[in-house]
Every structure is written in C-alpha cells, then in structure tokens.
Amino acid sequence: MPDMRLFDDGPHDPLLHCLRALPECAPDSDGWPRLAAELRALQARTIARPVRRRRVLTGLALAATVLLALLLPRGGHGPLPGPGTAGTPAPGTDPLAALVAQSQWLETLVSAPALAPDAQDSDQVLLDWGLRQHISVIDQALQVAAAGEARQQLWQARVDALSQLLQVRWASRREGLHDGMADGAALRPTVLWSN
C-alpha cells in the first residue's frame, strides 16, 4: 500500500483521485491478429520439433558432429567447454575476467560463418535481431557502468544473451542440416565415417 503520508487526505487526496480517475486508453488498433499469428508460428515450431527429433535422433547426433567439424577449424579456440563449465570460473579466478573471457569465446562462436542466421526463417530472424538488440543495449550500458557488482551483472547478462543467440543459431543450423539429410544432400563429409 502506498505511503499515504505524502498525501494530505490519504486516498482521498484530490491529486491522487484525479490520477486514478484518468480514463483508460485503448490501443488504436487491434493487436490480437498479429499476436495470434506469432503464437501460431511458435506453436507450430514447438510441436514440430519433438516429432522431428524422434525421427532423426541418430542423424542429429551426426549433424552436430558435422557442425563441430565446420566450426572448429575456423574458430581456432580449441574444443568447446564441457557441460556445466559455463559461468563456473576456476577457484581463484577473477569472476569478471572469467565473464569477459566467456563473452569473447561465445562471440567467436556466434560469429562463425557456419552459424550465419538463415534469412529465410522469419521467426529466427526476429529472434536473432531481438537478441542482438539486447546485446547492443547491454554494450551501451557497459560503456558507462562503474566497476563492481553492477558491471559484473552486465557482463553476466551479456554472456546469457550470447548463449541464447548461440542456441538460436545452433537450432536453426541443426534443422538445416536435418532437412539436408532428409533430401539426401548431407553426410557428404564421408571422412567422418572413417570408423
């Protein structure tokens, strides 16, 4: 409950009354059709993914290997960190330095040509754009942020956003590889089948 000491007559203060009595403004156009279209698209993707995942589980594992084969020679940063290592700096490591390093590493991965966003997938383009905007806002905040916990939180937010961007691009790339396999176009790097 607001502190009514600010108002001479508590909830009956004329200014408070006027603010609360302001007319409710409705939007000038119906936003539901646009929202419904986006929700339908999201639902379609959510439903389609598990079915596809079951059907091509083995193929996806191979696709991941193909993707790694594409990524690693270009990145030149050694193997990907193992599960659970993100955000867990080694004892004695400066947490801020660890976050900056993580951020740089994720940025290298995201920038890999093999993970370039698919311009034909409007949902992915929107997601990708939104995340990049978010990262841009964080970067602006970092330019003026003082040292200390606030700065560390911003770097953590940057790492989180880059991780999400990587996941979005990875998912798109994975689907692209699967689609290619279904067409018989993938699995060409036969060297991967040497065993």
Partner 1 sequence: MAGACGWADPADSPACDRSRPSRIHGNVSSRFAIAVEPGLIAAARAGSLPAQERLYRLFERPGHNLALRLLADPDDAREVLHDAMLKAFTSLNEFRGDCPFWAWLRKIVVNAALMRLRARQPRGLEGLEELDAAGPLPADVPDPGRLADGARVERALAALPAATRTVVWLYCVEGWTHAEIAGALGRSVSFSKSQLARGLARLRRVLGVEVSIHA
Provide the binding-site residues for partner 1, judged by CB under 8 A.
1-3, 5-6, 8, 13-16, 18-29, 31-32, 34-36, 38-40, 42-43, 133, 137, 140-141, 144
Name which of 88 and 140 has its Cβ closer to partner 1.
140
Name which of 85 and 136 has its Cβ closer to partner 1.
136
Name which of 32 and 193 has its Cβ closer to partner 1.
32
Name which of 39 and 182 has its Cβ closer to partner 1.
39
3-state secondary structure the chain: CCCHHHCCCHHHCHHHHHHHCCCCCCCCCCCHHHHHHHHHHHHHHHHHHHHHHHHCHHHHHHHHHHHHHHHHHHHCCCCCCCCCCCCCCCCCCCHHHHHHHHHHHHHHHHCCHHHCCCCCCHHHHHHHHHHHHHHHHHHHHHHHCCCCHHHHHHHHHHHHHHHHHHHHHHHHHHHHHHHHHHCCCCCCCHHHHCC
CB of 51 to partner 1, least distance (A): 15
CB of 37 to partner 1, least distance (A): 10
CB of 72 to partner 1, least distance (A): 33
CB of 14 to partner 1, least distance (A): 6
